[in-house]
Amino acid sequence: MENFIVSARKYRPATFETVVGQQHITGTLKNAIKNNQLAQAFLFCGPRGVGKTTCARILAKTINCTNPTAEMEACGQCDNCLSFQNGHSFNVHELDAASNNSVDDIRSLIEQVRIPPQAGRYKIYIIDEVHMLSQSAFNAFLKTLEEPPSYAIFILATTEKHKILPTILSRCQIFDFNRIQVEDISNHLATIAQRENIAYESDGLHIIAQKADGGLRDALSMFDQIASYANKNITYKAVIDNLNILDYDYFFKLTSYLTAAEVSQTLLLFDEILNNGFDGNNFINGLATHFRNLLVGKDAATIKLLEVSENIKQKYLDQCRQTELSFLLTALNLANTCDLNYKNSKNQRLQVELALIKMCHIRSVVQLAQQPLNLSNTATDQDQDKKKTDVVAEKAESVPTKIESQSPPAKTEIPSSPLIEEKPKISTPASANSISINIPKKNVGTLIPSLNDLERLANGEEDNGPKKATGEAREPFTYDQLLEVWNKYIQILKSTDKINLFTILNNFAPKLLSPVLIEISVESKTQEQFVIQESVELMNFLRNQLQNFAVDITFKQVERKIENRLYGNREKYDYLVNKNPKLDELRKRFNLDINP
């Protein structure tokens, strides 16, 4: 019985033409051979299974071929090609840096470099996984890599270029290998299946290509596995069963349930998926990928981003026409949020189910948000006008009608409107109709309410203006009462995060210029503006605590006197003795000295 050879080895490319998905690399290498512009050191880097070592061997075989073709491919018939294919070539040396990463291994390699080739033009040294070399081995390799003999060519291969020293990188021609496209892998698998007389479905090969994530070697390994599992009949169902992949039909069916807001069917389908052994995190990631595919299928320019077979692509195009863009964007955001919170959740199943329930109600929420836009403009305007005038009527009764200022008093009246309903009048204290407020010259608009605020109130904006005190509208108070209320407010500020305001108000005590006018001392214009911004809460507090709605504040800029600072120990000691003379007696009793 003939020994089985895995497809990754049996169908390993032997020429540049048979390399899959790396035409930018193979074309450059063939032109370099043709023009005799070969570098003395190459670095092939890229993910696993994309052809780095394969291209290194093909390059080593081609440059020593005595009869290359016109396309700069090895003939495969000369003595050098035959010895290379049989593994007997003395001109090609391969070193696995993962197991030979010491300085002694590199020194042994350097000794071999000194010996010229006995047959052929070049001696090629292929070092695989070169990033595994130690720091000392890299340093020992530097000089030889920079100035090798004319017949020596080094080809380094690695999956982690960032681990290689910059001094090594600067001495090499760097070739970055790309991940192989899904379509290229699928076509290559189809070719191998035809050679091996294996029946296949294109959808199944596409699933294998997607699962390989750009690595042809991984795809060939899965191909052999599924061919054995399905007895040389690779079907779509055999692939998803063997690789534990969620069927596309699950996601298509689930999307139809979500758009129809069928919560019960959605949860039952998710339960079926869990019972089949699939992980919730993989499910939510697959659902997000499904929404992404529906999203890119919306535009003809992005349909090429669907890396699926033609049958599945047609299903995507049919469903994306029935799904709104707003639903896809919102559902994609919910799926992404669920994925981020999945690992930190203690009840992971509930996390996914909650996201699915939210997705079911996306359409109803969007329709509810758009519902006011369907009303007629006339009805909307009438409702807004009625609401506005009702608020104005309610607020007008509680706003003072007489304001004394330095300008002649003016009476403001609210224009009547046919939409205002007549309401019973609320009796107010007699003094409330004749309140007099002393208004300072500066910052009037920020300290007291005015009739101009009625427009803001009618529009439904929050009323952050000073509030009217409860009880008597104008209760007289003394300076001691003011200080008591002032200190109480300062303590409140100290317990909160308003430290800056606390510092400003705590520097100077307030002054009572008149029965209702309080003067606040500040050190700069900046402090004054800062206090003005915070004056609403201060005014409300003072008026409520002092039971006087006529209370007002003004500002005075003063210079703060700074006492002489005590820098030396003697100055500090004299200051303390001045405060407490017994301190000097204590020092003398214990015969203590003062450090200078």
Pairing of strands 41-45, 511-512: unpaired
Domains identified in the chain, total number = 3
- Residue 150 CB coordination number (10 Å): 9
20/162 same-domain check? yes
Residue 201 lies in a domain: yes
Residue 375 placed within a domain: no
The verdict on 46 and 106 lying in the same domain is yes
CA distances from 585 to 355, 568, 576, 594 (A): 78, 21, 12, 14
> Does residue 122 lie in a domain region?
yes
Quick one: CA torsion of 411, 417, 422, 424, rounded to 10 degrees? -20
Top mean pLDDT of 5-14, 186-195, 367-376, 570-579 is at 186-195
Mean pLDDT calculated for residue range 354-374: 78
Does residue 134 sit in the same domain as residue 34? Answer: yes
> Once rounded to an integer, what is the mean pLDDT over residues 27-39?
88
State how far Cα 123 lies from the chain centre. 50
User: Average pLDDT in the 46-66 region?
Assistant: 88
Let me know whether 205 and 120 are in one domain. no
Question: Does 310 fall in a domain?
Answer: yes
What's the confidence (pLDDT) of residue 157?
Answer: 92
136 and 215 together in one domain: no
Residue 480 in this model has a pLDDT that exceeds 70: yes
pTM of the predicted structure, to 2 decimals: 0.56
Q: What is the band of 245 on the pLDDT scale with cuts at 50, 70, 90?
A: confident
pLDDT value at residue 566: 53
CA atoms within 13 A of residue 305's CA, in its CB half-sphere:
13
Say yes or no to pLDDT of 144 above 80.
yes
* Tokens coding 47: 């993910």
Q: Which of 313-327, 329-343, 425-439, 464-478 has the lowest mean pLDDT?
A: 425-439
In this structure, the answer to whether residues 237 and 303 fall within a common structural domain is: no
CATH of the domain at 254: 1.20.272.10
Mean pLDDT across the stretch 440-452?
40
Q: Please report whether residue 54 resides in a domain.
A: yes
Q: Is residue 214 part of a domain?
A: yes
Please state, in angstroms and rounded to a whole number, the distance separating the CA atoms of residues 337 and 350. Answer: 14
Residue with the bigger pLDDT between 57 and 444: it is 57
Q: DSSP states of 40-79 as a string?
A: SEEEEE-STTSSHHHHHHHHHHHHT-SS--TTS---S-SH
Q: Are residues 88 and 130 in the same domain?
A: yes
pLDDT of residue 268: 92
Domain span at 62: 7-176
Residue 327 vs residue 571, higher pLDDT: 327
Q: Give the pLDDT score at 78.
A: 85
> What is the mean predicted confidence (pLDDT) over 525-554?
82
Which pLDDT value is given to residue 461?
47
Nearest Cα residue to 443 out of 343, 361, 323, 525: 525
Give backbone dihedrals phi and psi of 477, rounded to 5 degrees, phi first.
-145, 160
Q: Which of 154, 176, 198 represents a domain boundary (last residue)?
A: 176
| Residue 473, pLDDT score | 57
For residue 41, is pLDDT > 80?
A: yes
The helix/strand/coil state of 413 is coil
**170 and 186 co-located in one domain:** no
- Domain boundary among the residues 304, 339, 369 is at 369
Range with the lowest mean pLDDT among 35-39, 95-99, 518-522, 559-563? 559-563
Residues 232 and 317 in one domain: no
Q: Using the predicted structure, report yes or no on whether residue 413 has a pLDDT greater than 50.
A: no
pLDDT on residue 371: 65
Q: Please say if the pLDDT value at position 400 is more than 60.
A: no
Query: 287-296, 342-351, 373-382, 468-477: lowest mean pLDDT where?
Result: 373-382
CA distance 506 to 477: 21
Q: Based on the fold, state whether residues 28 and 151 are members of the same structural domain.
A: yes
- Phi first, then psi, for residue 41 (nearest 5°) are -150, 130
198 and 160 housed in the same domain: no
Asked if the model's pLDDT at residue 455 lies above 70, the reply is no
d(CA 5, CA 257) in angstroms, rounded, equals: 47
Q: Mean pLDDT, to the nearest integer, of 48-65?
A: 89
**CB 510 within 8 Å of CB 453:** no
Residue 405 within any structural domain of the chain: no
Share of the chain above pLDDT 90, in %: 9
CA distances for 22 relative to 27, 44, 210, angstroms: 9, 12, 18
pLDDT of residue 175: 92
Six token digits for residue 58: 């093909």
How far apart are alpha carbons 485 and 520 in whole angstroms?
A: 14
**Domain holding 195: CATH number?**
1.10.8.60
Tokens representing residue 358 in the block: 């939210």
Lowest mean pLDDT among 135-149, 227-241, 445-459, 470-484: 445-459
* 581 domain-assigned: no
List the CATH number of the domain containing 24: 3.40.50.300
Lowest model confidence (mean pLDDT) among 169-173, 298-302, 390-394: 390-394
- Between 473 and 87, where is the model more confident? 87
Residue pair 63/38 in contact (Cβ under 8 Å)? The answer is yes
Please tell me the predicted confidence (pLDDT) of residue 541. 85
DSSP 8-state code for residue 513: S
Do 144 and 257 reside in the same domain of the chain? no
Token pair, residue 552, equals 């007002």
User: Of the residues 369, 404, 420, which one is the last residue of a structural domain?
Assistant: 369
Query: How far apart, in Å, are the Cα atoms of 314 and each of 62, 75, 335, 524, 529?
Result: 44, 45, 24, 72, 66
Q: What is the pLDDT of residue 425?
A: 44
Burial class (CB in 10 A: 0-12, 13-18, 19+), 102: middle
Model pLDDT, residue 439: 40
